[in-house]
Chain A
């Protein structure tokens, strides 16, 4: 269980990125954090990853407070961030230095197999496409067997087809160890395709606006009625979250078209 308790982050320049954000995520749950830009999605992940310190509030993983990078928490960044001087296999093995060699090799081979890059193990990251690099990055996070995996818009730079393929690879890896996943995204379809729950954030400062459960069976079809209804619900909620507070929702549906 990952619990965030009244988490706040104010940067040195006074920017309030997060304010009183509380969230509980069950073990093995996939939660999509969705929201407009500047709602503190990335800040939130950096706090959970231990890369930044919260100004107030606390993060607990199974009761243990997190204030620095924790072995139970893995992260996949927006960019692949592979080390260019290591081969694909060495990149995947980067976090496994303490393991015996044989086990390290077995785990890396298995993870590369899972993301469909087994035959690229000996190549340099520069020889891979963007989508392949991001798969290596996902494999690198998974081989460390984290309890919580944070994904910071990992597929945002990729085309729709590559993205759908990566969703499959991600779910295949997730099925094996069922870690808790926190996925930051601005893509509603991605949230519907992957998550058990979508959490809509409201910007300035970032806090939770709405939570939409996505009780759909896997594998999911983006065109199924359930998916489409869920996507509509998230969109409506997202739309609401981007309006200033206090404004009546949907009172004048065509007002936005006439304001000029």
Chain B
């Protein structure tokens, strides 16, 4: 049985271990947990240090903290918003818009990507126009969408869907174009029909790239929900940002930013959690993503 080759990054360590020089001994005799600890703690030193330093500076009266609120005030604002239930209203509003926009955009991206990926005629007909439309900054659509769909949900969801559509479309079409011809031939040798070939070879082969494209799309969905809500909304985390700016409450802005970060990370984790079992056969080092 051959072991799979070690990742390159591990190679120097693997080689160093058997070379028992005196100098290397104390290092290698460290418990393996120590490494994970430094890996976890080290990245936190800078942000925590800055936060605590700023907190101390404000408390000591060295800084006013009016425009850059200390962490304690941000957390208190966040807590207040959560307790009053206001935060959840805004989170729900943003989340609903992202979900709807992501749903429409991803479905359209997968459908159009699958069509252009499998049918050369459709690709030549549709892809150049789509690439041209892709070059338009999505925000540039906003005035038109507002004229077409009004200032309420429809225009926002459309904007988010457009933002999600393109990465998903590109990912799916590219994945289908990149399917290994050799695996397709295996299907041909066993005389699979076209639908069976699509289901048993193409679909699983494009799945990993599609999942990555969906994650990219979800990230852009959050970008565009913030943009859409900044341009006019009465609720949502983006509204909370704008409200904080107009009323001069920087702590509320930072609180909304933190909520955006947590929400985005959470949604990404859910997407990965739901979809990663589908691609667990992959022979890549993607576990850590």
Q: Is the CB of A69 within 8 A of B283?
A: no
- Asked, given contacts A84-B283, A85-B281, whether A94 binds B190 with beta carbons under 8 Å apart, the answer is yes
Q: Is the CB of B188 within 8 A of A51?
A: yes
- A124 contacts the other chain (Cβ, under 8 Å)? yes
A83 contacts across to B, CB distance below 8 A: 183, 186, 201, 204
- B189 contacts the other chain (Cβ, under 8 Å)? yes
Please give the distance in Å from A46's CB to the nearest CB on chain B. Answer: 9
Please give the distance in Å from A222's CB to the nearest CB on chain B. Answer: 25
B185 contacts across to A, CB distance below 8 A: 51, 77, 81
- B13 contacts the other chain (Cβ, under 8 Å)? no
User: Which residue on A lies nearest to B283, using beta carbons?
Assistant: A126
A130 contacts across to B, CB distance below 8 A: 2
A 47-93 contacts with B by CB, 8 A = 49-51, 68-69, 71, 74-75, 77, 79, 81, 83-86
Q: Is the CB of A77 within 8 A of B182?
A: yes
Please give the distance in Å from B172's CB to the nearest CB on chain A. Answer: 17
User: Which residue on A lies nearest to B186, using beta carbons?
Assistant: A81
- A224 contacts the other chain (Cβ, under 8 Å)? no
Please give the distance in Å from B280's CB to the nearest CB on chain A. Answer: 9
| Distance between Cα atoms of A86 and B187 in the complex (Å) | 13
Please give the distance in Å from A48's CB to the nearest CB on chain B. Answer: 11
How would you classify the secondary structure of chain B's contact residues: helix, strand, loop or mixed?
helix
B190 contacts across to A, CB distance below 8 A: 69, 94-95, 144
B207 contacts across to A, CB distance below 8 A: 85
Please give the distance in Å from B184's CB to the nearest CB on chain A. Answer: 10
Interface centre among A50, A69, A77 (most CB of B within 10 A): A69
How many chain A residues sit at the interface, stated as a range, is: 20 to 34
Please give the distance in Å from B113's CB to the nearest CB on chain A. Answer: 20
- B286 contacts the other chain (Cβ, under 8 Å)? no
- Asked, given contacts A69-B190, A85-B204, A94-B190, whether A129 binds B1 with beta carbons under 8 Å apart, the answer is yes
A 119-144 contacts with B by CB, 8 A = 124, 126-127, 129-130, 132, 144
- B246 contacts the other chain (Cβ, under 8 Å)? no
A 177-208 contacts with B by CB, 8 A = none
User: Which residue on B lies nearest to A120, using beta carbons?
Assistant: B1
Q: Is the CB of B188 within 8 A of A69?
A: yes
- B191 contacts the other chain (Cβ, under 8 Å)? yes
A132 contacts across to B, CB distance below 8 A: 1
Please give the distance in Å from B254's CB to the nearest CB on chain A. Answer: 44
Chain B residues with a Cβ closer than 8 Å to the other chain, count: 20
B199-235: CB near A (< 8 Å → 1, else 0) gives 0110011010000000000000000000000000000
Q: Is the CB of B183 within 8 A of A81?
A: yes
Q: Is the CB of B182 within 8 A of A129?
A: no
A79 contacts across to B, CB distance below 8 A: 182
User: Which residue on B lies nearest to A68, using beta carbons?
Assistant: B191
- B4 contacts the other chain (Cβ, under 8 Å)? yes
Neighbour of A75 across the interface among B2, B189, B283, CB < 8 A: B189
- B21 contacts the other chain (Cβ, under 8 Å)? no
Neighbour of B189 across the interface among A74, A84, A97, A129, CB < 8 A: A74
| Distance between Cα atoms of A126 and B1 in the complex (Å) | 12
User: Which residue on B lies nearest to A130, using beta carbons?
Assistant: B2
| Distance between Cα atoms of A211 and B205 in the complex (Å) | 43
Please give the distance in Å from A139's CB to the nearest CB on chain B. Answer: 14
| Distance between Cα atoms of A89 and B250 in the complex (Å) | 60
User: Which residue on A lies nearest to B278, using beta carbons?
Assistant: A85
Q: Is the CB of A84 within 8 A of B281?
A: yes
Please give the distance in Å from B10's CB to the nearest CB on chain A. Answer: 18
Please give the distance in Å from B68's CB to the nearest CB on chain A. Answer: 50
| Distance between Cα atoms of A129 and B3 in the complex (Å) | 8
| Distance between Cα atoms of A185 and B182 in the complex (Å) | 20
Q: Is the CB of B188 within 8 A of A94?
A: no
User: Which residue on A lies nearest to B196, using beta carbons?
Assistant: A97
- B38 contacts the other chain (Cβ, under 8 Å)? no
- B84 contacts the other chain (Cβ, under 8 Å)? no
Please give the distance in Å from B90's CB to the nearest CB on chain A. Answer: 41
B281 contacts across to A, CB distance below 8 A: 84-86, 124, 126
Interface residues of B (CB under 8 A from A): 1-2, 4, 182-183, 185-186, 188-191, 196, 200-201, 204-205, 207, 281-283
Interface residues of A (CB under 8 A from B): 49-51, 68-69, 71, 74-75, 77, 79, 81, 83-86, 94-95, 97, 124, 126-127, 129-130, 132, 144
